[in-house]
Structure 1
Amino acid sequence: MTDDHDEPQVETDGGLTEDDVHTTAEVGEQYRATVYRDVDYEALEVAPETSEYPSTDGKWGFRKYDMPKVPKVSHLVGPSAIMLGASLGSGETMFWPTLVAQNGWGLYWAFWVGVITQFFINTEIQRWTIATGESIFRAFDRMNSIWPWFFLVAGFFHVGWPGWAAGASEVFAVWTGVVPREDWAIIGVVTMVLIWLSYQAGPILYNAIEKAQLILMIVAIFGAVVLAFIAGSVGQFANIPAGAVNFGALPQNMDIATFLGGLAYAGAGGYINLAQGIWAREKGYGMGTYQGRIKNPLRGAEPEEVHGGFTFEPTEKNLLRWKQWWKVTQQEHFLTFVVGLLVVATVAMTISAQYASGTDQGAINMWLDVIIPQLGALQQQLMYVVIFIALFSTQYAILEAFVRNSVDIIFEGYGRSAGWDLSRVFLGLLTLFTLWGILIIVAQFQQPWILLVIGAAIAGAMMWPYNALVTILNSTRLPEHTQPGWGRIIAMWWATGFFGYFTILLIGGVLNSPQAYGLSFPAFETTVGIVGSGPGGYALWVFALVVQIYTMYRSATGKMNASGTVDGADTARGFLS
C-alpha cells in the first residue's frame, strides 16, 4: 500500500506539503472498508519515558512509528454509524418518545444536552486509540487492572438480556402477521441466528456489521424524515424550542431510574459507548492503522496481530497529521451520530406526543397498541419499518459491542499472555452470547419494562466512573500535543458531574423504594435539590462531590503540568483539540 500520488504540492507552514499530511483519494477509498498496515512491531524502537510520549504506568512500553496520513471524513464513516444503530432502538425510539409522551416536551432539554454530552464522551474514548492504537480497556488496565473487569460485569448487567431482540420480534410479528403476536419468540430466535450468520459474510468481522448498520441507518433516517411530513405530528415541532431551553426542569414524582436510563440512552449509553475506541481501531483510525483486525477463522482468514501500544515522535509532520486525524474523527462522529440521533429521535417524539400523550404504557405497547392503530395505512407501514429497524439495529449493535468489548478485556487481561487466538476468542464469545439470547427467548423469560429500565439505569451509573477515568487518563497519561484542550476537559467535567448527580439520585431512590425493591433504607433518601436528603443521602452527595473534585484536580493539574513540555505542541493544540 502506498501513499504516493500526483496531487498539487501545496505548501503548509514549515515547508511541508498537503501530500505530507493527507493521503491520496485512492488510499482514502480503502478506509471505506478498513485499513491495516502491517509493521514489524518488535523491531520498532521503544519510546522513552519522557514528556513527549504517553505514560506507561510501568506497563508495556509504546513503540515509535509515524502517524499515518489522513483520509477525508467521507472515507471514515462507520464506527459512528454502528453507535447510531445502537442508539436508535434504545433511547431514540423507546425511552425518549415514552418520556415525552408521559411527561411532555419540558424534558427535551435533557435529551439534546445528553446527545451533545455523549459526543464529547465518545470522541474522548476514541482519543486514546487514535493516539496509541490501544483500546480504552488496555488504557484502563494501565491505571488499575480492576477497572476492565468491573466494566465487563457491569456491562453484562446492562446489555446481557436480549430485550431489544424481543421487542423487534414482537413488532415484526404484529407488522407482518407471519406468526401470532404471542409467538414472537420464533422470530426472536431467527433474528439472533441471522445476526450470527451475518458475521460469516466476509473474512473481516467488523466489516459485516458496519455495512449492515450503514444500510439500516440510511433506511431509518429516510423513513423518519418522511414520517415527519406525513404522520400528522408536524404541529408538535412548535413545542420543541420551549422544551429545549427548559434546563433543569423535572416532572414531580418522576422515576429517577427511568430518567437516568433516558440520559444514558440519549445515545447508545453505558457499555456500548466503550466500544467506540475499539471500532475506531478496527476501522484503522490514527495509530489504529497499525493494529490487526479480528478475522473470521471459519473463512480461513489469515490472522492479523493486535500489537501493544504505538506512539509517534512529535515532529511537525506528525503533529499536523494528528491535528487533522482529530478533526476528521470529530466530524465523522458529529455528522453521523449527533445529527442522526437528533433527526430520528425528535421525529419519534413528535409522533408519541401527538398520539400517546399521557400514556401509561411501556414503549413497545405504546407504539403497537396506542400509536400505530391511529395512523393511516401508509403511515402504519412506514412506522413499522422505522421501529423494527431501530430495535433490530440496536440488538445487532448491542451484541457486537458486548462481544467486542468483552473479548478485548478477556484477551488483554488473560488471553494474550496465555497465547490465545484473538479471532477464535471473538467467534467463541459471539456464539455463546447468541446462544444465551436464544435460550432466554425460547424459555419465554419475558423481560418486563422495569428490567429494561434497570439495565438502562446501570448504563447511566457506569458512565459516571468511566467518564472520570477517561478525563484523568487523557489529561495525565497522554503527552501535551495529544491531550484534550481546556474546552473538552471542561465538557468532560460536566459529563462526570451530570451522570454522577443522577446516579446518586438513583442510588438513593433504590435504597428508599420498598415497593419496587423489597427493602427500604430511609436514611439514604436523596432529593433533587440535595437539601432534605437523609443522613446517608448526604454521605452519598459528599462522595459524589469528592469524586468530582478529584477528577477536576487530577485532570487540571495534569493539563497544567504538561504545558510547555513538548516543543511545537501548539501546532496540534486548540481549545477543543
Structure 2
Amino acid sequence: MVDSSNAPAAGSSRRDSGHDSGNDTATEVASGTDESARVWRAGRLDPMPIRKLPEAPPAIHLLGPTVFLVALGVGMGESYMWPRLVLVFGPEIRWLFLVGVTLQAFVMLEMARYAMATGESIFTGAARVFKPIMWFFFVVAILVYIWPGHLSAGAAALEEITGIPWVVSACVGLVLVGIVFSLARVIYNLLENVLSVLIGTLVVGTAVVASLVGSWGDLASTLSGMFHFGYFPAEAMSGAWFPILVGSVAFAGPSGMQQMWYTLHLRDSGAGMGAHIPRVRGLRHAGEEEAMPSRGFMFDTGDPKEMTKWRGWRRWVTFDALLLFWGITMLVTVSFTVLAQAANRENPNVKALIEGGDRDAALGAMSDAFASVGGPVLGGVFFGFIALIGVNATLGLFDSFSRGQADMTYFFVPGARKFKMSHLYAGFLWGVIVFGILILLFGPAEGPSSVLDILAFLSTFAMGAYCVVLLLVNNRMLPKPIRPRWWANVIIGFGALFYLGMLFYSLIRFGVVVS
C-alpha cells in the first residue's frame, strides 16, 4: 500500500475503502463483510481494490500533464510537414490537419478515462484484455523511438546558428538529458516545469514573428483553409504525395504511441486514482521511491459523491484537451502556416523546389521570410525555433519511452520487480542514449532509409491500433457508469478506420507507406 502523503499535487488522496456499484455484468465485484477486501475484477490480471477518488482540482488551470503531449505534438509535423503541404497545395489543405488534431483531442480524453479511473497505464489495460496486445506496443516502441531523429533535426538547426557541428551538439545533448533526468528528485515535476517554459517560449515567439512577417490576408486564408472540407487536389492522390499526406495527418499532434504514454504522465501527476500510485524518481533518488502496487485501484461508481468527483476530473481533463492541447497545437501551426505563405512570397520558386525533391526548401524559405523583416539575425531565430522544437520533443520522447518500457517491464517481465521502477526507467533511458550516440557517431542519424519506411508504417499503424485498444479497454474493463458514451465510441472507431484505412490504401494503391 502507498501512503497518501506521497500523492502528487493534482489532488489529495485517502486510502479509505469505497463501495462498488455491483451493477455491471462484464466483470465481477467481490463483496463481503470486510469492506477493505472489496475489489473490481477486470480481465485476468489482479483485481483492483476499491479506494476513494481524490477531489478534482479546478477545471481551469495553466499547467498539467498535457504539456507533455504539446511538447511531443508540436514537432516537425506542425513546423515542417504541414507548411510544406501549404506551399504545394495552398492553405485549403489544412482541413485535414483540423480533422487530425481534433481526432487526437478525443483520443486524449479516452486515454485519460482509463488512466484516471484506475491509476493504471493503457498498457496495463491492454494486458487486461489480451497480453500480446501490450507486447506489440512494447516492441513497436523499441523499433520506432530509439532513433535520435528529433534531436538530430534540432541540432542541425542549431548548427545554422552557431556553426557547431550537429553531431557534437546532438551527442552532448543526449548526455545532458540523461544526467538531468538521473539527478531529478521527481522526474515528472522537473519535466512539467521545463517543458512549460519551452512551450511558452515557442508559442509566444512564433506568434510574434508570424505577426511581423505575415499579413492579415495570410491569417484569413490560414483560418478559412481549415474549413475547406473535401478539398483534395488531383496531385495529392499521386504516389509522391498521398503517403506524405497520410503521414502528415498522423503527425497532426502527437504521433505513434505518444498518446499512450500520456496515461503514464497522468498517473504521475496524481490525476484521479493515479494519486494512489508512487511517482517515478530520478536514479539518484531511487531509494526514496515507495513500494509500487501490483495493480491499480477503482473507485465506487455507485456512490453519488464519488461520481461527482469523477465528473470534476472529466471537466479538468476536458479543459486540458480542448484549450491546452487543441488550442496550443492549433495556434503554433497557424503561426507556421502564416510563415509558409509569407515564405512563398519571398521565394516564388519554393513550390517548384519542393516538387523537385528538395525536402529542405520549405525550411530555408521560411527562414528567408523571417530575415525579410529583421535581417539575418531574425532569419537565424527561425532555426532557433526548430532547435527548440527538437529539444522539446527529445525531452518528452526520452522520458515517455523510458517510462512506458519500464512500466511494462516492471509489471509483466518475470523477476523485474526485484528492481525499483526508477531503476528500470534509468536503464531504458541510458540504453536509448547510448544507442543514439552510437548511431550519431557510426551510422546514419535516423537509421537506414530502408528501415525508416517500416518505422513510419509502424508509427501510424500503432495509432490505428490504439484506437481499437481504447474501444476494448474502456468498454470492457471499466464499470458501466464510467464507460464512454456511444458517440465517443463512434469517434474513436472512426479514428481506427481513418488511420488504418489511409495507411493500407497507400500501401496497396501506391506500394509505399508513410513518407
Match of 1:77 among 58, 63, 66: 63
- Indicate conservation of the 8 Å contact 1:94/1:364, yes or no: no
Task: Determine the structure 1 residue equivalent to 2:37.
Answer: none
1:117 matched to 2:103? The reply is: yes
Measure the CA separation in 1 of the matches of 2:115 and 2:208.
37
Q: What is the SS of the residue equivalent to 1:65?
A: coil
Partner of 1:127: 113
- In the other structure, the counterpart of 1:226 is 208
The residue number in structure 2 matching 1:409 is 408
SS at match of 1:60: coil
Asked if residue 467 in structure 1 is aligned to residue 462 in structure 2, the reply is: no
> Does structure 1 residue 309 correspond to structure 2 residue 296?
yes
> What is the aligned partner in structure 2 of residue 170 from structure 1?
156
Q: Give me the whole-angstrom Cα distance separating, in 1, the residues matched to 2:91 and 2:454.
A: 23
Aligned counterparts of 2:263 and 2:201: Cα–Cα separation in 1: 26
| Distance apart, 1:79 and its partner CA | 1.3
Shift of 1:296: 2.2
Q: Determine if the alignment matches structure 1 residue 431 to structure 2 residue 416.
A: no
State yes or no: 1:276 paired with 2:262. Answer: yes
How much does 1:102 deviate? 2.6
Query: Secondary structure of the residue that 1:336 maps to in structure 2?
Result: helix
Aligned residues: percent identity?
A: 22
Residue aligning to 2:439? 440
Give the 5 Å matches for 1:85-234. 85-177=71-163, 179=164, 183-234=165-216
- TM-score under structure 1 length normalisation: 0.77
Contact between 1:90 and 1:394, CA under 8 Å: does it hold in 2? no
In 2: Cα distance, 1:35 partner to 1:69 partner: 6
Amino acid at match of 1:292: P
Alpha carbons 1:49, 1:55 under 8 Å: kept: no
Aligned to 2:313: 325
Q: Which runs of 5+ in 2 are unaligned?
A: 30-39, 345-349
TM-aligned CA distance change 1:482 to 1:416, over 3 Å: farther
Classify 1:281/1:221 alpha carbon distance in 2 versus 1 (closer, same or farther; 3 Å): same
Contact 1:55 / 1:478 at 8 angstroms: preserved in 2?
no
Query: Aligned ranges for residues 517-532 of structure 1 at < 5 Å?
Result: none
Name which of 366, 375, 378 aligns with 1:371: 366
1:193-225 deviation per Cα after TM superposition (whole angstroms, max 9, x unaligned): 121122144311222221111110000001011
* Cα displacement string for residues 451-496 of structure 1 (whole angstroms, at most 9, x for unaligned residues): 7676444322211121012012212321122111223122212212
1:239 and 2:214 correspond: no
Gaps of 5+ in 1: 4-26, 518-577
Corresponding residue for residue 353 of structure 1:
341
Cα distance in structure 1, aligned partners of 2:452 and 2:82: 13
| AA of the residue aligned to 1:309 | G
AA in 2 matched with 1:272: Q
Check 1:244–1:74 CA distance in 2 against 1; reply closer, same or farther (3 A cut): closer
**SS in structure 1 opposite 2:288?**
coil
Query: 2:52·2:299 contact (CA, 8 Å) conserved in 1?
Result: yes
- State the TM-score, normalized to the length of structure 2: 0.86
Closer, same or farther: CA 101–301 of 1 in aligned 2, 3 Å: farther
Q: Which amino acid letter does the alignment assign opposite residue 221 of structure 2?
A: N
CA distance in 1 between counterparts of 2:228 and 2:214 reads 25
Q: Distance in 2 between matches of 1:300 and 1:498?
A: 42
Deviation (angstroms), 1:367: 5.2
Q: Distance in 2 between matches of 1:329 and 1:494?
A: 22
Judged with a 3 Å threshold, the aligned counterparts in structure 2 of structure 1 residues 432 and 299 are, in CA distance, closer, same or farther, namely: same
Aligned equivalents of 1:154 and 1:507: distance in 2? 19
* Aligned counterparts of 2:416 and 2:3: Cα–Cα separation in 1: 34
Q: 2:286, 2:422 within 8 Å by CA — same for their partners in 1?
A: no
Offset at 1:256?
A: 3.2
| Corresponding residue for residue 51 of structure 1 | 24
Of structures 1 and 2, the one scoring higher in RCO (CA 8 A, sep 6+) is 2
The 1:159–1:364 alpha-carbon spacing in structure 2 relative to 1, beyond 3 Å, is farther
8 Å CA contact 2:185–2:281 kept in 1: the answer is yes
Task: Let me know the Cα RMSD of the aligned residues.
Answer: 3.0
Rounded to whole Å, the distance in 2 between the matches of 1:150 and 1:499 is: 17
Q: How many residue pairs were aligned? A: 482
Alignment match, 2:493: 493
Deviation string, structure 1 residues 380-428 (Cα, Å, up to 9, x no partner): 2432332221122112211111111111122221157653321100011
